[in-house]
Amino acid sequence: MRDTLPLLNTLDFPPLRRGALDTLQVNLTYRCNQRCLHCHVNAGPTRTESMSPELVELLCDVIDAHPVDTLDLTGGAPEMHPQFRTLVRRARAAGLKVIDRCNLTILSEPGHEDLANFLAAEQVAVSASLPCYSRDNVDSQRGDGVFERSIEGLRKLNALGYGQPDSNLELNLVYNPQGPSLPPPQQALEADYKQHLQEDFGIQFNHLHTITNQPIARFGSTLVSRGQFDNYMQLLRDNFSADNLAGVMCRGTVSVDWRGYLYDCDFNQMLDLPMPVLASDRPHLRELLEQPLNQHPIATRDHCFACTAGQGSSCGGTLN
């Protein structure tokens, strides 16, 4: 779908440089049991891209050798990768925090019924996508029946201690707007989510992360087909805040694709914009064992305005 989108240039966005590397965000597979409208990965049930066993072993070597704090596993549905659990165990044994970017419905998918118990046993932080506390809004964005299965997944996690007071099992929810708009203020929306999910379903969670939709891949193509792309890009530019530049996640995160190639962020990965910091034209995971990244430049394009508009946006929610 990249070819259907207008050219994203580098003329407007300020230059950025890396800080200390603290997080590896790894896209294990594009395969997913869902096909969501806002998905910047174009993930779905028919995708076959998946990290090889050899690369998983190399990733484990990097984890053992490199002083990173967090392994952030994403996809697709990362849990559908056959070595997901092996990787989680290795990272936890090395003392890393592990984040599972979970779509919730995977917890009831055939063959994954014990997944929630595994995540709890390994004390994996769960970052779960739930774009609304309303059935109609969730199902319109993610597919019929997704809301009910998401609620079922949240109840399963709560029963194991996730999101409960005084528990060390972290459960965060992720909100994406339904269309070409900025997310509302995160703190107020989090309060609404907590009230509705508690009153209607008895569900508890730690925090809500609001994320601005990126004008790329499936969502970008939808904007183009509806004649909304230019207006959305203007909205992002108009709401640019320089205060967000210091906190954007690309300053401390490296994104690794299923082939082991390195990018400054998951969005650059989808646009095939490799990191401009290492010796080769397309830097690879093995090079993380050889060269520090601090103060190297970050590849930017106009889609970066999505991370700096308004309150700012990252995989950990707003920046301020």
CATH number of the domain enclosing 155:
3.20.20.70
Q: Residue 171: exposed, middle, or buried by beta-carbon count in 10 A (0-12, 13-18, 19+)? A: buried
Model confidence band, residue 287 (pLDDT cutoffs 50, 70, 90): confident
Domain range holding 209?
A: 2-308
The verdict on residue 317 lying in a domain is: no
134 or 44: whose pLDDT is higher? 44
Helix locations, 177-226, DSSP H? 186-201, 217-225
**Is the residue at 315 inside a domain?**
no
Q: Judge whether residue 292 has pLDDT over 80.
A: no
Give kind and range of the element (H or E) at residue 208: strand 207-210
Q: Structurally, how many domains does the chain consist of?
A: 1
Flag whether 111 is in a domain: yes
Whether 139 is covered by a domain: the verdict is yes
Question: Has residue 143 got a pLDDT over 90?
Answer: no
Is residue 211 predicted with pLDDT exceeding 60?
yes
Instruction: List Cβ neighbours of 209 (8 Å cut-off, separation of 6 or more).
Output: 127, 172, 173, 174, 175, 186, 315, 316, 317, 318
Q: Is 87 within the bounds of a domain?
A: yes
Most confident of 31-40, 75-84, 272-281: 75-84
0.85 cut: is pTM over it? yes
Q: Give the model confidence (pLDDT) of 153-204 as tens digits.
A: 999 999 999 999 889 999 999 988 878 999 999 999 999 999 999 999 999 9
Predicted pLDDT of residue 133: 80
Q: Which residues pair with 74 in a beta bridge?
A: 27
The verdict on residue 274 lying in a domain is yes
Q: Which residues pair with 317 in a beta bridge?
A: 314
221 inside domain: yes
Contact by Cβ (8 Å): 270, 8: no
Strand order in the sheet with 253-256: 207-210, 171-175, 125-129, 97-102, 70-74, 23-27, 253-256, 262-263
